[in-house]
Structures are given as C-alpha cells and as structure tokens.
A and B are shown apart, each in its own frame.
Chain A
Amino acid sequence: MPMVKLLGMMIIVLSGTLAGFNKARQFERRPQQIRELILVMQRLETEISYGFTPLPEALNKMGSQMQEPLKSFFISAATDMNSPQGLTAQESIEQALSVHWKRTSMKAAEREVLHQLSFTLGTSDRQDQIKHIALAAQQLKHEELAAREELDKYGRLSKNLGLLVGVLIVILIF
C-alpha cells in the first residue's frame, strides 16, 4: 500500500510541476511570437512598397518561411483569399484568426491588432497601406514590451507555483 501511495504522490507533484512549466512556456512564447509578427509586418511593408506583391502571394511567401503555428495562420489566410467562395481579404484573415489563433500563445490584445489591420489590408494605395502596417507594428511592439514584463514577473513564479501546488495537494490529500 505505501508503494502505491508514494507513486500517487509523485504523480501529483509531477503533474503540478509540468503544468507550471507549461504555463511558464506560454509566458516565454508570447513575446517570441509577437516579435515574429512584428517581423512579418516589416516584411509585408517591403513586399507592398517595393515588390508590388499581391496580398495572397505575400502572405503565402511569408507563411512558408515561418514556424508553426503562425505558419498555418498565414497560409490558410492566403488560401482562403483564392477560394472559390470569393471571401474578401478581411473575411479570410478573420477566418484564419478564428481557426488558428488558439494554437498560439498570444492574447486578445495582439489579436485585436490583426483584426483591425485586416480591414485596411489590400484596400488602399501603397502609402496608406504602409501607414496602417507601421501602426500595427507599433502596437505590437507595445504588446511585446508588456509581454516581456509579464515573463519577468510570472515566468519563474509559475514554474515554482506548479511544484508548490502539487505539493500542497499531496499534503491535503494524505
């Protein structure tokens, strides 16, 4: 019997620790992914202002050079634009957001930035596009800063907290 008890304790502590690590990883990934998005904005600006690359092609190109989960987000937005239902650019991005956003570690603030950008993307002249993209990049930078602060504050905390919660449960139960 004590063996089984010991095993149960270990499992609880372990899963608490893992949950803590998982949460910590979310905190770590968020600023990384925001940074990736900012780079995307900069590349998009170049594609639009110098390359005259059509939006679906530009999104496809950038998506294929990125890592999951942002990769499938951009590629699916580009694919939707060329779909026979004839979605607009805005609808395509919105659809991709609703399918792929939950797989990222980012939060509602970043989503809102992309949501706002989707209304202007592709619907005006180059100068106007560049202004809107620069604005989005600016907002993302702001979010990145906030995300880094959160990481500093809660990153290690959540790791430790996971372990401690595991131990607490064990104490309470046994």
Chain B
Amino acid sequence: MKMNWLELFPEPIKSLLEHLPFSILDRLEEIRIREGRPLEINAAGEHHFLTMSGKLTFRVEESYKPGREDTHRLLDRISNHSLYTMEEELRKGFITIPGGHRIGLAGRTVLSGGKVEHLRDISGFNLRIAREIRGAADAILPHLIDKKEKRMKHTLILSPPQHGKTTLIRDMARQISSGSYADSTVKWSGLKVGIIDERSEIAGSMRGVPSFDVGPRTDVMDGCPKAEGMMMMIRSMSPEVLLVDEIGRPEDVEAITEALHAGISVIATAHGSSVDELSQRPAMASLMANQMFEMYVILNRKAGKPTYRILDRQQRAIQLSLPYQKGVDAYG
C-alpha cells in the first residue's frame, strides 16, 4: 500500500504512525490531530489514542498531545508553505492531497456578509484516508443492471457516514465505465459516466485529473455544486449514467428529476439508515413519493463488518443483509 500521506506529518507524529502495527496501519481510516488534545487514530471502526512511545491507549492522560508547533508544521506542509493558495479549500473546510486523501480542518471562521470567508487559527485536522478497492461493487452491481434495456437502474445508496459509500460508487463508476459490471452474462460494453464530485472525494482529482481509476469513459466535474454540476453534465457531456454523492438539498432533487426525465440513469448516495427515515426529510420526500428510484441499497456495519441490503421500488427486499464479497474490512 502506498502511504505518501505519511510524509505530510512532522516528527514525532510521523514516527509514531510509522511504528504502528501493520494490522492497524493497513486499516487506518482517520488520523485526527487536535492541538493540545490526544492524537487519535481510527481503524476498522474503532478509535484509539497514541502514547508517546507509539502504543495504543484509551487513557487521555497517557496519550501524546500534539502542540502548537506540531499543528503549525503540519499546516505549513499540507499547504505547500502557501496557505494563500488554499482560500477556496479553507472556505469549504478541507484540502485534498495527492492520492485523493482529504484533510478536514477546524478552526476559527472569518465571516463576511454572514458567509464563511476564511478559516484561521486552524487547530483541528482530520486526515481521511481514501482507499481504492477494486471490486468493492462486485456484490451489489449485478442487481442494479437493467438487462432488457441495457442500462443501469436509478439507484439510491443509503448509509451513515464512514460506511464505504464513496469507495462503493467509485468502483461502480470504474466498472460501469469500463464495461465489466461484475456480471459475466452482461455482454455490452461500458457506458458514458459522469461524476459530480462536489467534495473531490470520489475521484480525488488534483488539477482536474482523477487520482483514482474511475474508468476510461468517465468525466468528472470536480468541486462543483451538485445541482449545477448535474445540469452542466446533462447539457454538455451527454452522460448515460450520472453518479452523485450525498444528495439532500431541494435543488439536488430538482436536478435529479431533470436527469431522470432526460433518460439518464442516476446513481446517488445519501446519508441515512433507512428509506423511511429519508422520506421524513422534506427535500427528499417528493423523490420518494414519486418512486423515482428503482433500487435502494442500504449499507450497514455489523460487528465491524460492512453489510448491505437491496430493496426495489416498492421497498421490497431483494437481497437481505449479506457481507460484501470483497474488501470486507477496509471500508473508509
């Protein structure tokens, strides 16, 4: 596994992380640095603090607490010594680094006209390690194919945060675009895929070029508001499948309705743990009431293992809680 993100951390944090046992290092999901508070890591859904000697602990008083010097160095490095080039990123609260990983930031906001203009006194960092798992969608994808029409079904993927939504749709994009579909009975080639990647999470684009393999026929609209991006894609890039992460605002719903009527298959994700819960949200209610989506995929995690359920338009279960076939552990 490439760990170029490790280079970002200043000493002594870097050597603490380097000396973690491989079983943890390999499954790291998050590294959290908060000034004056314990250094925290999250791996396989569990959190730990780190002691000065690199041991895992739950006790706050034993843990290593990064100081001002550490956070200052870290910020200097992730911004390439040039915080002024990151104004847009600071406004959004995260920075994407090479490899598609993201660093979330917390600090004091500077407002202008009631809107967040800038972030200063940054003291909280959350490195979310992006994982590319080829085959993450193998178990789910075959259920979402409309074999008669040779298209993908409109699908909504529901899951709480940290359950592998993004990893899943990244692999879906790759497979649909390259025409593998994880189903040997499907004989047609790949489809044109458009990804609206508002938070640069799916493709992890650096200067407009995806860091991850999202397939040969995939276009990425990076850093674009979802609703606007969907309309731009529909107008200019003629996608056959649109992938969108974390829909939820009224304008997203409008754009999705537009795409569905334009004959484009939409695969979207949303935060939530059940279809009922989603119907309660005012913005989403109309989408649900019109039964716009043909398929619902619900991700969950049982005893650290990710599981999924697939429901059809009438919310009848097609496939009951099953663990993923591949990449069982490493969802981040």
Contact = CB atoms under 8 A, between A and B. Distances in A.
A25 B272 CA distance: 75
B187 interface: no
B72 A122 contact: no
Interface majority SS on B: helix, strand, loop or mixed?
Answer: helix
Contact of A122 (B83, B87, B90, B120): B83
A48 interface: yes
Given A86-B10, A125-B87, A126-B87, A55 B118 contact: no
B27 interface: no
From B79, B84, B85, B118, residue with most partner A Cβ within 10 Å: B84
Contact of B76 (A52, A122, A126, A129): A122
B85 A52 contact: yes
Interface string B67-82: 0000011011101111
Contacts of A56: 80-82
Nearest to B80: A54
Contacts of A84: 7
A174 B297 CA distance: 105
Q: Give the contact-size bracket for chain A.
A: 10 to 19
Given A86-B10, A88-B72, A126 B84 contact: yes
B82 A54 contact: yes
Interface residues of B, number: 18
A50 to B, nearest CB: 11
Interface string B10-21: 100000000000
A121 B7 CA distance: 22
From B10, B79, B82, B87, residue with most partner A Cβ within 10 Å: B82
Contact of B85 (A54, A88, A121): A54
Contacts of A124: 83-84, 120
Given A86-B10, A88-B72, A55 B81 contact: yes
A74 B73 CA distance: 21
A51 to B, nearest CB: 9
Contacts of B120: 124-125
A89 interface: yes
A123 B10 contact: no
Contact of B81 (A52, A122, A125): A122
Contacts of B77: 86, 88
Interface string B115-152: 00010100000000000000000000000000000000
Nearest to B88: A52
A85 B87 CA distance: 26
B82 A122 contact: yes
Contacts of B10: 86
A84 B84 CA distance: 22
Nearest to A93: B81
B116 to A, nearest CB: 13
Contacts of B85: 52-54
A52 B84 contact: yes
A81 interface: yes
12 contacts: A54-B82, A56-B81, A84-B7, A86-B10, A86-B73, A88-B81, A121-B81, A123-B75, A124-B83, A124-B84, A126-B84, A126-B87
Interface of B: 7, 10, 72-73, 75-77, 79-85, 87, 90, 118, 120
Given A86-B73, A89-B81, A123-B75, 17 more contacts: A53-B85, A54-B85, A56-B81, A81-B81, A86-B77, A88-B76, A92-B81, A122-B76, A122-B81, A122-B83, A124-B120, A125-B84, A125-B87, A125-B90, A125-B118, A125-B120, A126-B87
Which 5 A-B pairs give the minimum distances between C-beta atoms?
A89-B81, A54-B82, A122-B81, A55-B82, A88-B76
